[in-house]
Structure 1
Amino acid sequence: MLLELNQLIVKAGHQLLIKDVSWPAYKGILAELGDNRSSRIGYSQGMLEIMAPLPEHEVAKVIIGDLVKVLLEELDLEFWSLGSTTFDKESMDAGVEPDDCFYIQNEARIRGKDRINLETDPPPDLAIEIDITSRTRFNNYQALRVPELWRWNGSKLEINVLLNGKYV
C-alpha cells in the first residue's frame, strides 16, 4: 500500500518526521504540496520534517520580523525580506523554510530575482525561527551557511552567529 501526501494530517503545533527520503523525493514533495500551504518543510540528509505552526507561532514571527525591519530601516540598510521561502542545496543535502528571513549584506546580489539558487546565490543573511512547539536544528542552517540565526522560544530571543561553520 502506498501512502499519498494528501492522506497525511499534521495538527497545528505538531510535526511529522519521515526518514530515508531521497533528494528527488524531497523535491517532489515540495512540488506536490505547493507554495500555498500552512505547513513548513525541513530536510537534512534523508530526514524530512513537516511542521504545522500554531497561531502564537505566527504572531511571534510577525512581531520579530517587524522588529528586524524597523532596526534595518533605522540603520538605513537596504534589505529584502523573503519570509518562509524554501532554501535548499542538493550538494549539501539540506533544505529549510525559515519562519522569516532577510537578505541584508547580500541584498544587492539577489535583488529582483524570482528564484534563489543556493548553488550560485548566497543564503539569506538572517533567518528567524520560532521554537514554541519544536526546537530548530542548527544542522540545516549550518549546511546552507546562513550567517545569522535568531530563535525565539516564547520567552527568550537567542541570537546565533555562524563562526567557523558552527553557531555561537
Structure 2
Amino acid sequence: MLLKLQQIIVKPGHQTLLKDITWQQLENILEEMGEKRAARISYSHGWLEIMVPLPEHEKDKEYIGDLVKILLEKLQIDFEALGSTTLKNERMRQAVEPDTCFYIQNQAAVIGKNRLDLNIDPPPDLAIEIDITSRTRFDNYEILGVPELWRYTQKGLEISLLQQGKYIKSESSPNFPDIPIIELVNEYVQQCLTIGRSQAIRNFRTLIANNIMSV
C-alpha cells in the first residue's frame, strides 16, 4: 500500500526521512507540496528529508537575511535574493532548499528566474542554513558546488568555504571582505531577540553607516 503525501505529518521542529525516492517521485512530491509551504526538503541519492522549522528558526532566517541585504545594498553590490528556492541537479541526484540564498557574483544569470535547474544554472554564491534543530547531514551544498555556506546554530554563526570540493571553516566571508561578519551576525541576532527587530535594524544601519562604509 502506497502512502500519500498528505498522510505524512511532520511537526514543527521535526523531520521525516524517506528512502528509495526516485527523482520523478521527488518532482511529484515537490509539485504536490507546492510553493507556499512551511516544510523544507533535502534530497540525496534516493534519501528525502522533509523538515518543518520552528518559529524561532524562521525568525533567525529573517534576521540574518535582512542583515545580508542591508550590507549588500550599502556596499552597492548587485544581488538577487532567492530565499528557499529549490536547488536541484538531476545528474548529481541532489536537491536542497536553503533557508535563504543569495546570488552575488552570478546575480545576472538568475535575474527573472523563479525556478532553478543547477544542471544549467550556477549555484548561489551564498546559502544560509538555520540549524536550531538538528537536520540530516547530507552533503548537498558541497556536491552542488555552493562556494559559501553559513550555518547559524545555538552557538552562533559558522562560515564554511568550498575548497577543492570540501568545506573548510573560515573566520571571514569573501563576499564581505574586511567586515567582521561572524561578530556582526551574532550581535545583531541577539539584539533582535532582546530589543526587537525594528530597533536592531536601526542600530545596524547606524553602525554600518558610521564604520563599515569607511573600511
Report the TM-score when normalising by structure 1: 0.96
**Bigger radius of gyration among the two:** 2
Of the structure 1 ranges 133-142 and 106-115, higher mean CA displacement relative to structure 2 is found in: 133-142
CA distance in 2, matches of 1:114, 1:54: 25
Deviation track 1:85-115 (CA, whole Å, cap 9, x = no partner) reads 0010001100000000000000012112243
Question: Which residue does 1:123 correspond to in 2?
Answer: 123
| Deviation (angstroms), 1:138 | 5.4
CA distance in 2, matches of 1:63, 1:115: 24
CA distance in 2, matches of 1:166, 1:73: 30
Q: Percent identical across equivalent pairs?
A: 61
The 3 A distance-change label for structure 1 pair 61 and 114 is closer
| Deviation (angstroms), 1:74 | 2.0
CA distance in 2, matches of 1:24, 1:153: 33
Report the TM-score when normalising by structure 2: 0.75
CA distance in 2, matches of 1:96, 1:148: 15
The structure 1 segments of at least 4 consecutive aligned residues displaced by more than 4 Å after TM superposition are: none
Aligned length in residues? 168
CA distance in 2, matches of 1:29, 1:74: 39
Question: Which residue does 1:66 correspond to in 2?
Answer: 66
Question: Which residue does 2:161 correspond to in 1?
Answer: 161
CA distance in 2, matches of 1:69, 1:135: 26
Q: Do the aligned residues in 2 keep the contact of 1:138 with 1:167 (CA within 8 Å)?
A: no
Question: Which residue does 1:80 correspond to in 2?
Answer: 80
Alpha-carbon RMSD across the aligned residues, in angstroms, is: 1.2
Q: Do the aligned residues in 1 keep the contact of 2:23 with 2:93 (CA within 8 Å)?
A: yes
CA distance in 2, matches of 1:167, 1:106: 20
Q: Do the aligned residues in 1 keep the contact of 2:85 with 2:116 (CA within 8 Å)?
A: no
